[in-house]
Structure 1
Amino acid sequence: FLKCHPLNKIQYVHSLLYHIFVEGNHSFVMILTEKIKAFIGEDLLLSDDLQDFLNQIVQDVEQNLGKKINRHEIKFMLQVLPYLLLSCRNMALNEEEQEDLKCEFTLIRKRIEYQAAKNLNSNLQATFGLQLNDIEISLLAVLLLSYRK
């Protein structure tokens, strides 16, 4: 349990995931992902079907943005996205914290990356019945913004 601003929690989890997936050894990462899947159970966010779908749709996202995303960055983003979304969903945010987060993401909603994230959300909903909330869409937009060339 981290007692801090929700955005700081997200940044912390992202940093932790970076160290695990980029700097961790492959065997450790495989064991960790297996243990997490066993602990969480059958969650769509951790499914191979979702990963395959995201890998396929990245090209559409790049076209929507009009920019390429570095292949190594795409791999990392797709690896950590389910865990970031799960951590967001695991945060018990009161109304004030939710509004504060929405306020933090105000500028991102004006970016093309936000529209690309909304389109991706529509595709996720149509294909898997998975709907991201506004905070999750904004987080995805931030990831797209930070990883594009």
Structure 2
Amino acid sequence: MKVVIQRVLKASVTIEDKIVASIGHGLLILLGIVDKDTQEDINWLSNKVANLRIFGNENGVMNKSILEIHGDALVVSQFTLHALTKKGNRPSYIKAAKPAVAIPIYEAFVKQLELDLNKKVLTGEFGADMKVELTNDGPVTIIIDSKNKE
């Protein structure tokens, strides 16, 4: 499981010209899933996201988590995070989990993050053609792969 986390002032997801999710200050989380992802990956990654200290404290030092600032979270499915680009110029997405596997893992990650944050987590729509708009704060962008915990 891989995430790209962006610290945002605001973010939204639009599907067919309708805004389906919108947040203020917090995190936009792009989530990519592979077949080998498990509940252990979900728990570890959710905990990491909830406690990642990437928000400024009173001195402007990145030392606060989304929990501490009571920020919002928006999770968007993003199978292209697992693109293979070594050969040729057309990315291969063979490592990305198919919807039958990915959807339950995606939903479980959102539920776990809601538990870890003790608040509702907004989402896009799995598999939909989404337009994601954000105002990146910093910019701060972090990539985390649950298969690289060490």
Q: TM-score, normalised by structure 2?
A: 0.28
Structure with a larger share of its residues in helix: 1
Q: Could you tell me the TM-score, scaled by structure 1's length?
A: 0.28
Q: Between Structure 1 and Structure 2, which shows a larger proportion of strand residues?
A: 2
**Bigger RCO of structures 1 and 2 (CA < 8 A, at least 6 apart):** 2
